[in-house]
Structures are given as C-alpha cells and as structure tokens.
Amino acid sequence: MTTSYIQFHLAFVVPALLAVVVATWLRDRSAWRRTLGLGTPIVIVLAVAYTTPWDNYLVARRVWWYGDQTVLARIWWAPIEEYAFFVFQSLLTALWLGNLDLTDVTDVSVSRPARVGGVVVAVALGALGVVAILAGPKLLYLGAIVAWAAPVFAVQWAFGWPVLARARRTVLAGVLVPTLYLCVADRIAIEAGIWILSPTYTTGVAVLGLPIEEALFFLVTNLFVVQGLVLLRWALAAPSVAVPAVVRRYLPTVEELGAVVPR
C-alpha cells in the first residue's frame, strides 16, 4: 500500500505538534507569550509567502517529485500537503522554542558596523549559493537553499546578530531539536517513496541515508523561525535599544506592539 503525504503528517507532524502544545500549556511559559502570540502568525505568513515560489520552482525543475498517489491535490506545482507543512513546521518550531529559557538580552545593543557586518556575511553566503548553482546541476538544490536563505539571514543578522550570539544556547536548542526530528521523519518519508530526490540535481552525499540537502533545508528553515522570534522578543522587551532610531522615527507605536497580545 502506498504511503501518502497525509499519512506522513498524521504519523510525524501532528503528534509532534500536539506534544509541544501540551508542553507549552503545562509549563505556562508566560515569558514567551507576547512574542509567540504576535510573532507566530507573522512567521507562518512569511514562511508560506517566501517558500512557495522557491519550492514550486524546484518541483517544476524536477529537483524532487512525489510518488504516485501520494498527494491529494496541487496548487501550482506543489501539493497542498506541502503548503500545510510550511505552516506545521513553523508552528512546531515556534512552540518548541517557547518551552526554552532565554538568557537576558535586553541590554544588548547593536552598532551600525555590526549591522553592516551581518549583511556582508549573509551576502557572501548568498554568493556561495549562486556559485554552487552555476557550478553544475548536481549542486543546484544545495546552492538554491543557500542562495534562498541569504536574504532572510541578511535581515536577521543585520537587525541583531549579537543578540543571537548572546542567546546562542537557546538558539541552538531551538533549532537542533526540531531539525533532528524532522530529518528522521524525512528520511522515513524518502524511504517510503512519498517524495523522491533527483540524482541529477543533488550531490548524492547522505548522512545515515538522508541527503545533505534535506538536512540543510530543515536547519535553514528552523533558523529562520528561531532567530526571528528571539529577535522579536528582544525588540518587544527593549524597543529603544533594538530598533534603530532612524526606523523608530517612523514607527511611533513600536513600544506598544506588546499591547496587542496579552502579557
């Protein structure tokens, strides 16, 4: 019997989501409440909007495809289950992060040279991705992930990479746990034939049977979520420090953002 994408969600994604929802409810992590209440919907919307064209392009290029009778329907090139995964992964990682302690970052300030440095590093990363894409078909998927991630990292690192460095233990725990879990689930899905990666557009390098491109995708996307929410918590807690004065001048209600969500 063919294993479907829906069955993948029911077996791996939904139980994990329920587990973090229960854990969040039992622990009552009020320190994260404002951040998650405001940030999670934003993260989900951005994840769907930013990932959709990239994902559909790669499916159209046949970088990967789906097994026969494994998906219900498609919107554009991608199956509807794929769009659901964008939402589920963002929610899973956000709620997991909400169960973690965070080092006090309210006193961290970010200088203009530091912001520029964050952009420079991200641009260099993006350039590596483009070079990989141009180097040959086997690096297409790997390079596409890196090039696609660079603009998001540029924004996040420019806004507050020193904050992320101060909160590195939380960032690492917030990223690595869901990444490892999703890597295991993905490895099983590939074995079940739910999706198949093209040998033409992938390196062929795998760790315990999981293509390195898939592991990198989960690492990058979980970094998007975790870094974004950690930086939002910093901005809500210390807006006068977090938001540059030139921007704050046009955002007079930044200090009031937390009032949108109950403390």
The DSSP bridge partners found for residue 195 are 66
Rounded to the nearest integer, the mean pLDDT of the chain is 91
Domain count, the chain: 1
The 10s digit of each residue's pLDDT in 190-210 is 999 999 999 999 999 999 999
The answer as to whether 90 is a domain residue is yes
Return the sign of the alpha-carbon dihedral for residues 165, 210, 221, 178: negative
- Residue 239's pLDDT is 83
* Residue 192: domain span: 5-108+163-200+225-260
Phi-psi region at 136: left, alpha or beta (left = phi > 0; alpha = psi -120 to 50): left
Confidence of residue 115 (pLDDT cuts 50, 70, 90): very high
Question: Helix (H, G, I), strand (E, B), or coil: what is residue 3?
Answer: coil
Q: In Å, how far are 4, 51, 244 from 61, measured between CA atoms?
A: 22, 15, 41
Backbone angles phi, psi at 132, to 5 degrees: -65, -40
- Residue 87's pLDDT is 97
Please check whether residue 82 is in contact with residue 62, taking contact to mean a CB–CB distance below 8 angstroms. no
The answer as to whether 233 is a domain residue is yes
Q: Is the pLDDT of residue 220 over 50?
A: yes
Confidence of residue 218 (pLDDT cuts 50, 70, 90): very high
The answer as to whether 253 is a domain residue is yes
Q: Which two tokens stand for residue 52?
A: 């959709």
Q: Quote the pTM value.
A: 0.91
The answer as to whether 212 is a domain residue is no
The DSSP bridge partners found for residue 207 are 210
